[in-house]
Amino acid sequence: MSNYLDISKISIDFPTPEGPFRALDELSLRIKKGEFVSLIGHSGCGKSTVLNILAGLLQATEGGVALDGKEVNEPGPDRAVVFQNHSLLPWLTAFENVQLAVRQVFRDSMGKAEMRDWIQQNLKLVHMEHAMHKRPDELSGGMKQRVGIARALAMRPKVLLMDEPFGALDALTRAHMQDSLMEIQRDLNNTVVMITHDVDEAVLLSDRIVMMTNGPAATIGEVLNIDLPRPRNRVTLAENGDYNHFRQQVLSFLYEKQRKVVEIPREPAVDEHEAAPARGKVAGLVDRLGRRA
């Protein structure tokens, strides 16, 4: 099982009026079963594009992805996605949101009572059993993201794809969520691909950090093995030399080797999406295309 998720030489072109625009160029990566891999890179470098190709929401122009020996060419619940903005259906309770996924995936293999237990078990895993009959608008941002994770886990996916899952949360909530995720990983040992642009988060959670070069034609710059022992504790790690060394390496990649010359946006950019107009026409268009697809 050394090549559970095999990404081989994927490239993607987006059509623009000036001809095709190559956003990703021959990116290859092999991920082992049970491995936690983070993708890190500057805004607009194509991290989300990679994740969308893994999810099957986008098709690579060249190259391909195989999961557990089978080619990936459409979305499916074996590659559950945790979206950045939770993407819960606002008209369903936490329970019903997870139920929608469970019904869809296990309708032939689980009875009604079994399904209910499985939904509750997953909500318990993310510490949301107390609020499972609340609707998303009654939950805080962190709680919504917990339900999003429960929904993804409940599909019993082969790979869990996380698109900046904690990017929209405040620092304290983010730390709680990271601890929860480590706890879940200890129990379930899922294969995870996570996008982040938080260096601390990447070092704390990952087995490997994949650092991407800046676009256009983005690809993998460096890969860093994080062989820190588990369980990891953020407080004790703060004084750990290896931990600080890894952090320093990621920071040096991002801010020395791949230093980004950003035109100063007219208005302070809040996140990647808002920053798009400042990145010039082509990158902005790619971003839009990427999100639409």
Partner 1 sequence: MISISQQTWLQPWIKLARGERPSEQLRALAKTLLVPLAGIAAFLLLWAVAAGQINTSLGAFPGPLDVWQQGGALLEEHAAERREEEAFYERQRERNAQRQAVDPSYQPRIFPYTGSATFIDQILTSLMTVTAGFVLASLLAIPLGILIGLSHTLYRAFNPVIQLLKPVSPLAWLPLVTMVVSAVYVSQDPLVPKSFITSMVTVMLCCLWPTVINTAVGVAGVDNDLNNVSRVLRLGWLTHVRTIVLPSAMPMMFAGLRTSLGIAWMVLIAAEMLAQSPGLGKFVWDQFQNGSSDSLSRIMVAVITIGAIGFLLDRLMLAVQSLVSWDKSADLR
What is the token pair recorded at 260? 């980004």
Do 193 and 205 contact (CB within 8 A), yes or no? Answer: no
Residue 107 in the binding site for partner 1 (CB under 8 A): no
Residue 83 in the binding site for partner 1 (CB under 8 A): yes
Which part of the chain contacts partner 1 (CB under 8 A), choosing from 35-43, 78-86, 175-183, 236-244? 78-86
From residue 162 to residue 201, what is the string marking binding to partner 1 with x (rule CB under 8 A)?
----------------------------------------
Q: How many residues bind partner 1 (CB under 8 A)?
A: 25
**CB of 158: closest distance to partner 1 in angstroms?**
13
Residue 141 in the binding site for partner 1 (CB under 8 A): no
Which part of the chain contacts partner 1 (CB under 8 A), choosing from 25-33, 85-93, 205-213, 278-286? 85-93
Residue 106 in the binding site for partner 1 (CB under 8 A): no
Which residue, 167 or 216, has its beta carbon nearer to partner 1? 167
Do 36 and 223 contact (CB within 8 A), yes or no? Answer: no
Residue 47 in the binding site for partner 1 (CB under 8 A): no
Residue 80 in the binding site for partner 1 (CB under 8 A): yes
Candidates 109, 111, 171, 292: give the one binding partner 1 (CB under 8 A).
292
Which part of the chain contacts partner 1 (CB under 8 A), choosing from 14-22, 61-69, 87-95, 273-281? 87-95
Q: Is 81 left (phi over 0), alpha (psi -120 to 50) or beta?
A: beta
Which residue, 133 or 245, has its beta carbon nearer to partner 1? 133
Which part of the chain contacts partner 1 (CB under 8 A), choosing from 23-31, 49-57, 114-122, 199-207? 49-57
Q: Site residues (CB under 8 A) for partner 1?
A: 55-57, 75-77, 79-81, 83, 85, 87, 89-92, 100-101, 104-105, 135, 137, 155, 291-292
